[in-house]
Structure 1
Amino acid sequence: MRPLLPGGFAAVTPVLGRPTRTASVASVEDGLATLALTVALDDGTITLLGDAVVALD
């Protein structure tokens, strides 16, 4: 995989590109869920890669 650009961007999304987003639960601890996030193009190129932490109230 390519090195990430600032902000977690891994590649540029082309004009008229149709990115698909996916998320999976990476962990749940102490009332917090960590999600692994990916945005990819149809050819498999990953354009965004990151994590999000969500409070489970």
Structure 2
Amino acid sequence: MNAAKPGEFDKAAFIKAVNDAIAKQVPKNLQEADEFSGSGKVDAIKGEVGGRGKDGK
């Protein structure tokens, strides 16, 4: 385990992945905006990009 080298973290790819995930979940009208906090979309964003930060470890 001591011989294992950490992977490289691609900051630009991570930022792009976060922005893409947010763009897919952003509310498209006022009703969706009102219901956003209880819709589970925040969890969907977290799930989509959550593992990307661990990939470089």
Band the TM-score falls in, shorter-chain normalisation:
under 0.3
Q: When you count helix as a share of all residues, which structure comes out higher?
A: 2
TM-score by length of 1: 0.24
Answer with 1 or 2: which has the greater Rg.
2
Give the TM-score normalised by the residue count of structure 2: 0.24
Higher strand proportion:
1
Higher RCO (C-alpha 8 Å, min separation 6): 2
